[in-house]
Amino acid sequence: MKVLVTGAGGFIGRYLMPMLLDKGHTVVATDLVVPKDAVSSDQIAWHQLDVSRSEGVYKMMLSERPDAVIHLVSWLAGPCEADPLRGWEINFLSTQYLLDAGVAAGLKRFVFSSSISVFGKGLPEPARDDAVKEPATMYGQTKLACEHMLRWYKNKHGIEVGAVRFPWVYGPGRETGITAMYSSKLLDALASRQPLHIPWPEEKGDWLYVKDAARALLLLLESKTIAQTGYNIMSGLYSIREAMAVAKKVCPEAVISFADGAPPSDNPYPLSYDDSLARRDLGWKPEYSLEAGFRDHIAIMRGTK
């Protein structure tokens, strides 16, 4: 299968690309800036592309004519709140351009990286895939609008579409986003043997290792049929204090202290989610426990793997 991956040089994309190649797919990789170490070959072609600009998207889709798209490009919550218009262009319009160009190019499948931010507060937990969606952030609004648009293109044009809704995705290379400071950056500090003082130990989220996130996208890409538009993808719910107790098993020498009495932030979405439909329809289940993910993260950062 010929697969176009947008944002291929980004955090999740760097882990997804080798998986696609190992499965025998041909890849067209795009990013706003092509990584310095990117090399084109018989299996992979790298292109510089701003997917929020329609002309380049249409030219790329019509020249490459991929069988499938995995759309990873996204502006995260902070930038979207600061500049909603640009957030809408990057998150929503890029998706529309890719889908519309895909109709002309004979696209068969479109896989989208969504987020738990499509849900709002006050839902019964664990939140189900079909729970009411009233996102409190512009980021969540753009992701929800994209999910609705995916469904329209499926009904109108017959493209197979699907989205995975990710929680906290951690792993080596995660530099941006609010949850990075709650997860990846803590592990990066431990890997470099820095002492940690954590001011928000009771902050809680579902910790999904990046290699599992990439594998969930691959499962959606290769599923024979996609029964519904959006799937919750979960791994394990932990507070930062609980997660750091696991980290101490991996790094017994770590020096970790916590602020007392600091409440968690007022999250704009639920904490726990039901991913039973992804397990049923896609065969999803995480391969990395929290400890296994931490061990892999630390080993990669220390250069021992």
pLDDT digits (tens, 9 = 90+) for 216-228: 999 999 999 999 9
Residue 228 and residue 178 share a domain: no
Residues 6 or more apart in contact with residue 279 via CB below 8 angstroms: 285
Task: Give the pTM.
Answer: 0.96
Which pairing describes strands 109-115 and 160-166: parallel, antiparallel, or unpaired?
parallel
Indicate the SS3 state at residue 238: strand
Tally of structural domains, the chain: 2
Q: Which domain holds residue 298?
A: 170-206+236-268+287-302
Classify residue 278: in a domain, yes or no.
no
- Give the DSSP per-residue string, 239-278: EHHHHHHHHHHH-TT--EEE-SSPPPP--SS-S-B--HHH
Residue 178 has pLDDT above 90, yes or no: no
Residue 91 has pLDDT above 90, yes or no: yes
**Model confidence band, residue 261 (pLDDT cutoffs 50, 70, 90):** confident
In the prediction, which pLDDT does 129 show? 97
Residue 174 and residue 164 share a domain: no
In the prediction, which pLDDT does 39 show? 78
In the prediction, which pLDDT does 264 show? 75
In the prediction, which pLDDT does 267 show? 84
Classify residue 48: in a domain, yes or no.
yes
Residue 19 has pLDDT above 90, yes or no: yes
Residue 157 has pLDDT above 90, yes or no: yes
Residue 117 and residue 58 share a domain: yes
Classify residue 115: in a domain, yes or no.
yes
Residue 241 and residue 151 share a domain: no
- By CB atoms closer than 10 A (0-12, 13-18, 19+), residue 283 is exposed
Q: Provide the CATH number for the domain around residue 202.
A: 3.90.25.10
Residue 225 and residue 200 share a domain: no
Looking at every residue in the chain, the average pLDDT score rounds to 95
Residue 41 has pLDDT above 90, yes or no: no
Residue 199 and residue 123 share a domain: no
Residue 161 and residue 254 share a domain: no
Segment 26-44 mean pLDDT: 90
Residue 196 and residue 160 share a domain: no
Residue 108 and residue 29 share a domain: yes
Residue 156 and residue 14 share a domain: yes
Place of tokens 């919750």: 232
In the prediction, which pLDDT does 177 show? 83
Residue 119 and residue 49 share a domain: yes
In the prediction, which pLDDT does 209 show? 98
CB 261 within 8 A of CB 212: no
Q: For residue range 203-220, what is the model confidence (pLDDT) as tens digits?
A: 999 999 999 999 999 999
Task: Return the higher-pLDDT residue of 123 and 39.
Answer: 123
In the prediction, which pLDDT does 305 show? 82
Q: Provide the CATH number for the domain around residue 30.
A: 3.40.50.720
Classify residue 282: in a domain, yes or no.
no
Q: In the chain, pLDDT over 70 holds for what percent of residues?
A: 100
